[in-house]
Amino acid sequence: MTSSEFSVVQPWRSNTKNAGRWIFSNVRHYWPIIAVILAGAIGNAGLAAAIPIFTGAAFDAVTGATPDLRALAVACVALVLSQGVRSTLQLGRNFGSEVLGQRLERDSRRELYGELLGKSMGFHDMHATGDVMARATNDVRELALMMAPGLNLVIGSAIFLVMPILVAPRYHPTLVIVPVLFAAGYALSMWHYLRSLRPVTAAVRHAFGEMNARLTEAVEGVETVKGAAQEEREVAIFEHNARRVRDAIVAQARVEARFLPLLLLAVATGVAFGQALYLYNAGVITIGAVAAYIGLISLFDFPVFTSLFAYSQVASGLSSARRILELIRAHAVVDQNTAGHAAPMRGGVRFDHVSFRYALGDPDEATTQNALDEVSFTLEPGQTLALVGQTGAGKSSVAKLINRIYDVDSGGITIDGVDVRQWNLETLRRQISIIEQDIFLFSRSIAENIAFGKPHATRAEIEQAARAAQAHDFIMSFPDEYETVVGERGMTLSGGQRQRIALARAFLTDPAILILDDSTSAIDSATEDQIQQAIERASEGRTTILITHRLSQIRWADQIVVLRKGRVAAQGAHAELIERSQPYRDIFARL
């Protein structure tokens, strides 16, 4: 089973086994930038260690029996030059880490976006849009912050830990003891710290996703909220979710407050200072060595104080990566089948004992609801089929199974004698157009909406399709005509206008199979005859499936299938069904 219905081509294939491998597989291609970061981090730590070394040399130069001004001058010049080089390396390191973070964010966002578009409808039915958007925006942003400043500081702090261990023995072998013990204690405390951080950072990301999901629902359904006067209730729910986010962040802060390395640093500094003074009083080391050693111990300040922030940022980034991978790795029920059948369609459709159930509820605890049960019918190329039945009878499910928005649970569907699962998915869908009752238009120009299925269509083709759908006249009444930008979901247009634009969009693609799912429900009676004529012209030479309650459309269908509770209650021509089918007569008795 694949993870995506459609695969968007990526520059490389990422490793999605776990969060760490996924991140590494996305950044390892930028190895020159990684080399610059590592060189900068090593150079920064090494030249930071040069400060106490040159400072100690300067102390010895002026505290000896005879001050050595030349040695003092050399130490000063070396110190200045070394810090100049250090600044240059720091610039490259910080710039490189920021670039690497932005490229990781860009690449992961592109990969996630491609995966989301590639997932089947079963996936999208089971995931709240708001939570998906939180992962695609906020969680992806956390990946960049994990790299810069997060991982950048973690790498730098790790190398700072090593420098006192490498340099201290030059003054006396025993001076390595405190740095080694501190580094070991630091590593153990950070291991425990990261283990404690993992669940709380995951809780923060999860709480934020739930808050965003509810917010998105309220904003998208604001008309319903206002119509039911439920503003106060929705605000209360949002406040509750926001409080949960706050509580999760406070819980993370409590873990961060118990940061043991701060105590270890204080103890290490005191012990190191006492040991250095003891060796100095014993005449084993010079005052310059004492100053240099204490300066080396002070290098631990950087990993201790930056780790309090940096490791938290890395833990948050890893939690975000896991949430992103949950979406990427979610299996698709429908596969692309790129090597499948890819021929021009004639339009013959056959349902053979098809059963289908929708998955409902949480993805981890999903239940199912029966939609179709043992449905069978045959439609020859060029014929028109009318699907009728009460609400919830399964009519729209038939349409969504034909172009594999969903796949059947049992039975089979063939087009031109080939099982739809054996078709190349892109070829299959490009030759089938579905116009649904709930029309979705993009917040783009009318011309772009009509040409969505055929992006390179000429203006003449677009206008021809609009005329066929009886949309040209009202489009020309707008100030910007075909360049008029419709509002989000096309809400600035009337229901009839949206449906006629959707019809034009379908006519433009010239499909072999045209499915109209109650697509004329919002069209007034005066326009219905014109639309009916347009549909009849569009149906010539192609297979058409009408899901409708309009008797004027049902009458001219070659075949009518009556669905009742997901099963075929009757099928045949209009006159035949009126005579012998009580369920069919019941439908028209209520019209």
Q: Which of 206, 194, 159, 210 is nearest to 313 (CA)?
A: 194
CB 377 within 8 A of CB 561: yes
Asked if the structure places residue 528 within a domain, the reply is: no
**226 vs 21: which has the higher pLDDT:** 21
Checking if the pLDDT of 389 tops 70, the result is yes
CB 408 within 8 A of CB 401: yes
On whether both 130 and 264 belong to a single domain, the answer is yes
Q: Are strands 410-415 and 349-360 parallel, antiparallel or unpaired?
A: antiparallel
Residue 213, token pair as written in the block: 């999901």
pLDDT tens for each residue of 321-374: 988 888 888 766 667 777 888 888 989 999 999 999 887 655 555 555 778 999
CATH code, 151: 1.20.1560.10
CATH code, 479: 3.40.50.300
On whether both 189 and 266 belong to a single domain, the answer is yes
CB 427 within 8 A of CB 434: no
On the CB side of 395, CA atoms within 13 Å amount to: 27
Name the residue range of residue 482's domain: 438-510
Least confident span in 206-220, 266-280, 464-478? 206-220
Chain centroid offset of residue 486 CA: 26
Checking if the pLDDT of 589 tops 70, the result is no
Cα gap 165→160, rounded to integer Å: 10
On whether both 140 and 246 belong to a single domain, the answer is yes
Of 329, 348, 365, which residue sits at a domain end? 329
**331 vs 388: which has the higher pLDDT:** 388
Asked if the structure places residue 29 within a domain, the reply is: no
Of 510, 531, 558, which residue sits at a domain end? 510
Cα gap 316→305, rounded to integer Å: 18
Residue 23, token pair as written in the block: 């991140």
Backbone angles phi, psi at 492, to 5 degrees: -80, -5
On whether both 130 and 257 belong to a single domain, the answer is yes
Whole-number pLDDT of residue 263: 86
Continuous H helices in 127-176: 129-134, 140-145, 152-167
pLDDT tens for each residue of 105-158: 999 988 888 888 777 766 776 777 778 888 888 889 989 999 988 899 999 989
The 3-state secondary structure of 371-424 reads EEEEEEEEECCCCEEEEEECCCCCHHHHHHHHCCCCCCCEEEEEECCEEHHHEC
How confident is residue 530, by pLDDT bands cut at 50, 70 and 90?
Answer: low
On whether both 347 and 491 belong to a single domain, the answer is no
* Portion of the chain with pLDDT greater than 70, in percent: 89
Cα gap 105→148, rounded to integer Å: 11
CB 482 within 8 A of CB 511: no
How confident is residue 504, by pLDDT bands cut at 50, 70 and 90?
Answer: confident
Asked if the structure places residue 61 within a domain, the reply is: no
How confident is residue 557, by pLDDT bands cut at 50, 70 and 90?
Answer: confident
Whole-number pLDDT of residue 367: 52
Mean pLDDT of 399-408: 86
Mean pLDDT of 554-577: 85
End-to-end CA distance of the chain: 45
Asked if the structure places residue 103 within a domain, the reply is: no
Asked if the structure places residue 80 within a domain, the reply is: no
Of 287, 302, 329, which residue sits at a domain end? 329
Mean pLDDT of 21-41: 92
User: What is the identity of the amino acid at 428?
Assistant: L
Checking if the pLDDT of 11 tops 70, the result is no
Whole-number pLDDT of residue 36: 94
Q: Which of 421, 388, 387 is nearest to 403 (CA)?
A: 421
Checking if the pLDDT of 228 tops 80, the result is no
Q: What is the DSSP string of 63-110?
A: HSSS--HHHHHHHHHHHHHHHHHHHHHHHHHHHHHHHHHHHHHHHHHH
Residue 39, token pair as written in the block: 């060189």
Q: Give the predicted TM-score (pTM) of the model.
A: 0.72
On the CB side of 177, CA atoms within 13 Å amount to: 10
On whether both 357 and 221 belong to a single domain, the answer is no
Buried b (16+ CB within 10 A) or exposed e, 432-457: bbbbbbebebeeebbbbbbbbebeeb
CB 450 within 8 A of CB 462: yes
Whole-number pLDDT of residue 270: 93
Q: What is the DSSP string of 317-382?
A: HHHHHHHHHHHHHSPPSS---TTSB-------EEEEEEEEEEEES-GGG-EEEEEEEEEEEEE-TT
**Which distant-in-sequence residues (6+ apart) come within 8 Å of 196 by Cβ?**
255, 258
Asked if the structure places residue 529 within a domain, the reply is: no
How confident is residue 468, by pLDDT bands cut at 50, 70 and 90?
Answer: confident
Prior bond to 149 cis, omega within 30? Answer: yes
Residue 71, token pair as written in the block: 């040695």
Whole-number pLDDT of residue 529: 66
Checking if the pLDDT of 3 tops 60, the result is no
CB 159 within 8 A of CB 89: no
**CA geometry: angle at 177 spanning 171 and 183, to 5°?**
115
How confident is residue 491, by pLDDT bands cut at 50, 70 and 90?
Answer: low
Mean pLDDT of 516-522: 66
**CA geometry: angle at 521 spanning 518 and 523, to 5°?**
135
List beta partners, residue 198.
none
Cα gap 542→381, rounded to integer Å: 7
Number of H helices, E strands in the chain: 23, 10
Whole-number pLDDT of residue 447: 92
Q: Are strands 559-564 and 384-389 parallel, antiparallel or unpaired?
A: parallel
Least confident span in 41-50, 143-152, 359-368, 412-421? 359-368
User: What is the identity of the amino acid at 455?
Assistant: P
Whole-number pLDDT of residue 332: 61
| Ramachandran assignment for 436, one of left (phi > 0), alpha (psi -120 to 50 degrees), beta (any other) | beta
Asked if the structure places residue 202 within a domain, the reply is: yes
Q: Hey, is 146 helix, strand or coil?
A: helix
On whether both 406 and 498 belong to a single domain, the answer is no
Least confident span in 240-254, 387-401, 520-534? 520-534
What does the chain come to in residues? 591
Q: Tell me which range, 76-90, 398-412, 431-445, is most confidently predicted by mean pLDDT.
A: 76-90
On whether both 362 and 257 belong to a single domain, the answer is no
Checking if the pLDDT of 526 tops 80, the result is no
**230 vs 304: which has the higher pLDDT:** 304
On whether both 292 and 395 belong to a single domain, the answer is no
Work out how many domains the chain is built from and give that number.
Answer: 3
Buried b (16+ CB within 10 A) or exposed e, 552-583: ebbeebebbbbbbebbbbbbbebeebeeebeb
- The whole-chain average pLDDT of the chain stands at 84
**Edge-to-edge, what's the strand order for the sheet holding 513-517?**
432-435, 513-517, 543-547, 384-389, 559-564, 567-572
Whole-number pLDDT of residue 549: 74
On whether both 345 and 469 belong to a single domain, the answer is no
Q: Are strands 418-419 and 410-415 parallel, antiparallel or unpaired?
A: antiparallel
- Maximum C-alpha span of the chain: 124
Residue 243, token pair as written in the block: 């409080």
On whether both 244 and 340 belong to a single domain, the answer is no
Whole-number pLDDT of residue 590: 61
Q: Hey, is 567 helix, strand or coil?
A: strand
Whole-number pLDDT of residue 354: 92
Checking if the pLDDT of 578 tops 60, the result is yes
**354 vs 586: which has the higher pLDDT:** 354
CB 78 within 8 A of CB 324: no
* Portion of the chain with pLDDT greater than 90, in percent: 28
Asked if the structure places residue 401 within a domain, the reply is: yes
On whether both 117 and 241 belong to a single domain, the answer is yes
Whole-number pLDDT of residue 1: 47
